[in-house]
Amino acid sequence: MHHGLRLAAITLLLAALPAAALQLQPDPAGLNSAELNTSRQLLDEVQQLLPPLLQEQLPHTLHIGWSRLPAHIMGRATASGRILLNHHWLQTLVANPQATNLPGRQHPSLRHELQATLIHELAHLYDRGRFWPPARRSLQARCRTLQKTIGHAGLPQQCHGQTNRRFTLSDDPHLLDLAGWPQETGQKGRRTANNHQQLRSPDAYERARPAEFVAVNLEYFLLDPTYACRRPAMAAYLQQHFSWSPPHTVSCPSGLPHLNAGLDAETPLARLHPERIYQVHYLLAEPDNSWAGRWGHSMLRLVVCAPQRQPGPDCLLDLEHHLVLSYRAFVEDLQLSNWKGLSGVYPSRLFILPLQQVVEEYTRTELRSLASIPLALKPAQIQRLAQQAVTQHWSYDGRYYFISNNCAVETLKLLRSASPGPALHSLDSQTPAGLLQALKNRNLADTSALDNRNDAMRKGLFFDSHRERYHQLFAAVREALHVPQQRFESWLQQSALHRRPLLARSPDMRTTAALLVLEQAALRQQLQHIRNDLKLRYLGNHNDKALAETGQLMAGLLHDSSFLSRPADLLPQGYGLPQSADWHDPQHAVQQRYDRLRQMAGELEQRLPQLLTRAQNDELTAIQHNLHQLEQRLKQQHEQQGGLLLP
Amino acid sequence: MRQLSLIATLGLALLAGTASASSLVASTDTLGTSLAKSSKGSSNASSSVGDDKVVLEAREDAAAFVGSNGSLRGAYLEAALQHIRQQIPGLHATDMQLAEAILAL
């Protein structure tokens, strides 16, 4: 190497070192020379792993003592700022440098476990040191002054959670959102006591307290090359905080793995590509009259572009690629109980569903419209939202409370964790419509595109309830065919056989098409009717053996489908988002579970016709016949008028 | 894949309240595929465009569009119209003609 170049390289190296770097010194008291050597080596290894910022901030020299702690305690940081590790495990490591880890611990070897312990305790010291960057420090000071003068209620948004900071990281509002201690609604910013991001955790201790969460996550951030793939949002947070990433960080497979909760999905295990999301919409199902639906339902819609398309407005019509994030109670019982809903018995889980399924369910089955309102999120925020949503999908199992932890509250919490800006932190709403209003007030949601209903429908921003379609089409049919019934409901109340003669009189495609839609409405109504009847019979009559067996099968199916909303149940290995090392042939494993569900569903299907009454069966068959007849008629009329054939 | 049609509509039926409580209910809906589609005519035309998912998904919207003489115009139809025109660039046809062609598939 050229002399001058070498000098430059050395200068660079020196410049990279922090001015007063931390030194980890073993306290030699009670150690023999082999133990001292091993200890020194261990401390050097850890020293290499630490972020430069942390090394600058902590005291110049830290003495690490080895003391006789109870066997189950690996180490602790004392109130005076010393770190003590368990001497017993140092002895074990000296005796066998390759020692495997203790049962119940997660790191791969005893050496790693001791490194992790030291990192964990250093993290506590760092967290207690209040090492805030200057800008943050002056913000906090300003906020405290404001609180003294104008009180809590008048504090500006960016002061929320900043007036009483005591830790470098573990009381940062954004960290708490990511970690799983979100704000409760209507509690003036107070955070939940329990952390429900409980599945696929590397170490259950992380949920004990935010300080432990920080310490455990720093262990994995520094020691596990796959941490950023498993906990992308937390990794990004720590990288940003330290302005640094661990040199060992591996590049992650493209796309975030998730389970498609739609059973007829082509690939049960799919990947969400955040860079392909054009927009995020607030998806609001209008209220209905049912007890549980009277407030409407809040969801988020990810406008995912088709693979070949650049993100842009054209993606709005790539409907088959869009996904819906929907928090719902998981109800395993055969009957929904209002009491259980109020008292938090049902789990609250995040379902990732194809948009198509959601549109079908609301607009066709429940006859409720869906409004899709674009949210003003930047690409980086959209990426964070996707990361946090998929993280919740694999880790979250909360409690559903009709009032205080319902879909609107859950959706707000997810939005908050995605956009650390202050705007969402002071926002507080417990109802879907209230949340939309609050988002509008802060210019985060723009409903102007929905002002023109027809336009919004064409653009895929409004999905109309089919109830409105039925009424409009019935009016057209009534005029064309001189139907005696005044109201659509009366038309539907007739039996399919009574409607049939009129169907044959339809003069043109227009009328036949309208009749087809109305007959589909008849089919849905008939199914709804059978559904209610079966329910009443099942609940009211415990002696009907066939019904009881079917009910049991149904309960089994529901129970087995639990993994769709709690995919962590599929694989015991690893933590965070699943990586290839966690399961052998993931598609196969998921496919097996899907196949089993389908098989159970098939069995149920075979049993069901026997449960219908003769009259129910006849009516169902007659409607199907009508539908078939209308479809044939459409084809004939199309042919007669020389209609266009798609090539 | 519509083998779940009956279960979707009847099986789920045993579940009380669920039909009207989708904001609370989960797994039941996840099985849901509407029976309306089971009545879908078999696509005997062997056309490539007509077999495309985006076109098949537009059948209900197409029926409403034709039945309302063009005033009910849903997003699924819109997506299908765009798709067809992209696939067949030289095609001269009105929206109504295309919607009728979808219905006649």
- A178 with A414: CB under 8 angstroms? no
| Tokens standing for residue A614 | 């003769």
**pLDDT at residue A294, as a whole number:** 65
Burial class (CB in 10 A: 0-12, 13-18, 19+), B40: middle
Q: B96 at the A interface (CB within 8 A)?
A: no
CB–CB contact B24 A336 (8 Å) = yes
Q: Would you say residue A526 has pLDDT above 50?
A: yes
- In percent, how much of chain A has pLDDT > 70? 90
Helix (H), strand (E) at residue A299: strand A297-304
Which residue did the predictor score with more confidence, A151 or A463? A463
Question: What band does A40 get if pLDDT is binned at 50, 70 and 90?
Answer: very high
| Tokens standing for residue A419 | 């956009």
CB–CB contact B26 A328 (8 Å) = yes
What average pLDDT score do residues A94-116 get? 90
pLDDT in tens, A539-582: 777 678 888 888 888 778 777 777 877 888 888 889 999 998 88
**pLDDT at residue A112, as a whole number:** 95
- In percent, how much of chain A has pLDDT > 90? 54
Q: Which of A11-20, A248-257, A583-592, A594-603 has the highest mean pLDDT?
A: A248-257
Query: For residues A601 and B3, what is the distance between their CA atoms, to the nearest angstrom?
Result: 9
Strand pairing category for A370-374 and A462-463: antiparallel
Q: B44 at the A interface (CB within 8 A)?
A: no
User: Which of B27, B34, B47, B65 should one mutate to test binding to chain A, selecting the residue with the greatest count of A CBs within 10 A?
Assistant: B27
**pLDDT at residue A187, as a whole number:** 67
Residue from the list B16, B53, B66 with its beta carbon closest to the beta carbon of A320:
B53
What average pLDDT score do residues A340-352 get? 71
**pLDDT at residue A259, as a whole number:** 87
What is the distance in angstroms between the Cα of B52 and the nearest Cα belonging to chain A?
11
**Which range (A146-150, A197-201, A218-222) has the least confidence?**
A146-150
pLDDT in tens, A46-93: 999 999 999 999 988 899 999 998 888 899 888 787 899 999 999 999
**pLDDT at residue B2, as a whole number:** 28
- Chains A and B: how many Cβ contacts under 8 Å? 284
In this structure, what is the dihedral angle of CA atoms A256, A260, A264, A266, given to the nearest 10 degrees?
10
Chain A positions touching B32 (Cβ under 8 A) are 357, 360-361, 365
The dihedral built from the CA positions of residue A30, A36, A40 and A46, taken in this order, carries a sign that is negative
Q: Would you say residue A18 has pLDDT above 60?
A: no
Q: Would you say residue A245 has pLDDT above 90?
A: yes
CB–CB contact A335 B17 (8 Å) = yes
pLDDT in tens, A607-621: 888 888 999 999 999
Mean pLDDT of chain A: 87
| Tokens standing for residue A436 | 């939309």
Chain A positions touching B46 (Cβ under 8 A) are none
CB–CB contact B78 A458 (8 Å) = yes
Strand pairing category for A370-374 and A398-399: unpaired
Q: B32 at the A interface (CB within 8 A)?
A: yes
Chain A positions touching B10 (Cβ under 8 A) are 527, 530-531, 534, 605, 608, 611-612
Query: For residues A210 and A179, what is the distance between their CA atoms, to the nearest angstrom?
Result: 8
Q: Which of A13-17, A92-96, A562-566 has the highest mean pLDDT?
A: A92-96
Q: Would you say residue A451 has pLDDT above 60?
A: yes
- A216 with A202: CB under 8 angstroms? yes
Q: Would you say residue A589 has pLDDT above 80?
A: no
Opening angle at CA A264, ends A261 and A265, nearest 5: 65
CB contact burial A278-317 (16+ within 10 A = b; e otherwise): bbbbbbbbbbbebebbebbbbbbbbbbbeeeeebeeebbb
Query: For residues A647 and A435, what is the distance between their CA atoms, to the nearest angstrom?
Result: 48
pLDDT in tens, A388-422: 999 999 998 887 766 667 788 888 888 888 776 66
**pLDDT at residue A262, as a whole number:** 66
Strand pairing category for A398-399 and A347-354: antiparallel
Helix (H, G, I), strand (E, B) or coil at A302: strand
Q: How far is CA A372 from the centre of its chain?
A: 19
Chain A positions touching B6 (Cβ under 8 A) are 605, 608-609
Residue from the list B22, B55, B93 with its beta carbon closest to the beta carbon of A644:
B93
Residue A351 DSSP label: E
Residue from the list B24, B32, B48 with its beta carbon closest to the beta carbon of A341:
B24
What is the distance in angstroms between the Cα of A607 and the nearest Cα belonging to chain B?
9
Q: Would you say residue A16 has pLDDT above 60?
A: no
**pLDDT at residue B5, as a whole number:** 37
Looking up tokens 């609107």, which residue turns up?
A408
Give me the residues of B, 60-79, that contact A with CB < 8 A. Answer: 60, 62-69, 71-76, 78-79
| Residues in chain B with pLDDT values less than 50 | 1-47
In this structure, what is the dihedral angle of CA atoms A173, A174, A178, A181, given to the nearest 10 degrees?
10
Question: What secondary structure, in 3-state letters, does A541-576 show?
Answer: CCCCHHHHHHHHHHHHHHHHHHHHCCHHHHCCCCCC
Contacts of A583 (CB under 8 A, 6+ apart): A570, A571, A573, A589
Burial class (CB in 10 A: 0-12, 13-18, 19+), A98: exposed
Question: What band does A182 get if pLDDT is binned at 50, 70 and 90?
Answer: confident
Closest residue on chain A to B54 (Cα) = A320
Q: B56 at the A interface (CB within 8 A)?
A: no
**Which range (A214-223, A224-233, A471-480, A589-598) has the least confidence?**
A589-598
CB contact burial A2-15 (16+ within 10 A = b; e otherwise): eeeeeeeeeeeeee
Question: What band does A120 get if pLDDT is binned at 50, 70 and 90?
Answer: very high
Residue from the list A400, A531, A643 with its beta carbon closest to the beta carbon of B104:
A643
CB–CB contact B18 A336 (8 Å) = yes
CB–CB contact A263 B67 (8 Å) = no
Q: How far is CA A189 from the centre of its chain?
A: 22
ipTM: 0.83
CB–CB contact A317 B79 (8 Å) = yes
Overall residue count recorded for chain A in this entry: 647
**pLDDT at residue A426, as a whole number:** 67
**pLDDT at residue A342, as a whole number:** 57
**pLDDT at residue A640, as a whole number:** 96
